[in-house]
Amino acid sequence: MVKTKEKVGYAFGGIGHNLIYALFSGYLLIFYTDIFQLSGKFTAMLFLIARIFDAINDPIMGMIADKTNSKFGRYKVWLLRAAPVIAGSLILCFFVPNMDQKLQYIYVYVTYILLGMSFTAADIPYWTLPSVMTEDANERTSIFSIGSVAGSLASGIGAVAVPMIVSNAGSHAQGYLLAAIIFAVVGIIGYTVCAFTAKERIVTDREKVSFGEMIGLLVKNKPLLIIMAASLCGNMAFQIKIANNTYYGTYALGNYDYVTVLSGMLLVGMLAGTVIVPVLVKKFGSKVAMLSALGYGIVISVIYYLTGYQNRILVFIFSALSAITIGMFTVLVNAMTADTIDYAEWKYGTRAEGIITSTRTFITKLATAIAGSVAAYALDIIHYVPNVEQTDSVKQAFHSFMSIFPAGFYVLGFLILLTYPLTKNKFAEIQAELAERRNHE
């Protein structure tokens, strides 16, 4: 039985973790284009190259965590190790050094890649923890839900707070740097609280499995591959909205202050979604809950598109309604990825929590990179010009990025999830068999 203080501690970790993520995923693009004065194409290439590093870094970090042997656990210890590096690199990313332009380009690459790699060192262990805190799938979903609620709350607060900090600072550059410092401090506190409260209960014998063998286990894990593909679609929908949120509020709606309102509506919708999930999973299972979330997302996103961007009240309402899918999706992807860890143990005798979780974190960052790159390239294609009144066609493009584009990705995710084999009854059989095996060991 997982104690309440552990769940609260895990939530604190989610607050710090997601505040940091909200800042760099939601505001680095506009910081680079409007403050650093980098071109959209340069920024797009930066995001893609950084994700190449993550393609290598994520599975390696997952394997390292799985093989970690410390008195503080396999996963919690990495929250403490990574925290100060994440904090320092976050601050450096939002600092504009006074140097030659070529050196600035190098500076941006080094600091952004360092942030991504250090964030991975905490991201994978954090989302792996529920898999080793309890064997009970419903309780595991509850932990993920609590962490996601805390994370969504933190992301929403961060998204609302950043425009306020920036608007009240001496300049936008100073405002973003101040936000980075504040979020870095909160992040360190959150990681520390989580590390000292969560308990790793599931400890299995670690056979010496090579990196190649680990990758082979991933490739053979059909439920995991399906979740990865669906996760990419869902995260693309979310990240395209995040990448364009500031542009949409500032230029389509007409005022930078509307970014705060949009972010607040995003928070409301995500929180509603995360609260709904445990009830749906307990009654129908994860697969049906995920299909319901994506189906709802398709319908509401299409309606959002048709309402247009001229009526701000409707925009705010549909921003909240469409975010319900995001909140549900976030919890379900984490819970279903954890289910595939049980499947791997049942099918192949190896849990490999860290490296399996690394697939989810990599997909999230891959979607962030692709969405950020697409958004950056799109700025040039739609003829966006910073800090001026935009044409109607540019405003309509931003509206499409917030509505109909996500709907298309939800459709793909829905079709992929139809093939997911772990129904509620099948997964219950797997858990029962695993419990019997462990009792006889």
Q: Among 52-66, 82-96, 120-134, 188-202, which stretch is predicted with the lowest mean pLDDT?
A: 52-66
| Structure tokens that stand for 295 in this block | 């189906």
| Structure tokens that stand for 327 in this block | 């909140």
- Rounded to whole angstroms, the Cα distance separating 377 from 141 reads 38
Amino acid at 76: K
Q: How confident is the model at residue 303 (pLDDT cuts 50, 70, 90)?
A: very high
Q: Among 147-156, 160-169, 171-180, 248-257, which stretch is predicted with the lowest mean pLDDT?
A: 147-156
Mean per-residue pLDDT, 336-356: 86
| Mean residue pLDDT across the chain | 88
pLDDT in tens, 75-125: 999 999 999 999 999 999 999 888 888 898 899 999 999 998 999 999 999
pLDDT of residue 211: 65
pLDDT in tens, 235-291: 999 889 988 888 899 999 988 889 888 888 988 898 899 888 888 988 899 999 999
- Between 115 and 42, residue with greater pLDDT: 115
All structural domains of the chain with their residue ranges: 7-439
- Rounded to whole angstroms, the Cα distance separating 126 from 123 reads 5
Q: How confident is the model at residue 168 (pLDDT cuts 50, 70, 90)?
A: confident
The alpha-helical segments, DSSP class H, found in 68-134 are: 76-93, 101-133
The DSSP annotation for 273-288 comes to: HHHHHHHHHHHH-HHH
Residue 311 predicted with pLDDT over 90: yes
Q: Residue 207: how many CB atoms within 10 A of its CB?
A: 8
Amino acid at 154: A
pLDDT of residue 10: 93
- Rounded to whole angstroms, the Cα distance separating 47 from 43 reads 6
pLDDT of residue 206: 53
pLDDT of residue 39: 81
Q: Give the pTM.
A: 0.74
CATH superfamily to which 7-439 belongs? MFS general substrate transporter like domains (1.20.1250.20)
- Between 358 and 232, residue with greater pLDDT: 232
Integer-rounded Cα radius of gyration of the chain: 21
- Between 294 and 209, residue with greater pLDDT: 294
pLDDT of residue 324: 95
pLDDT of residue 2: 80
Apex 136 CA angle, 151 and 214, nearest 5: 80
Contact 62, 344 (CB under 8 A): no
- Rounded to whole angstroms, the Cα distance separating 192 from 84 reads 11
Residues contacting 42, CB < 8 A, separation 6+: 105
pLDDT in tens, 196-225: 999 988 776 555 566 677 777 788 899 999
pLDDT of residue 204: 62
Q: Residue 257: how many CB atoms within 10 A of its CB?
A: 13
Q: How confident is the model at residue 25 (pLDDT cuts 50, 70, 90)?
A: confident
pLDDT of residue 439: 75
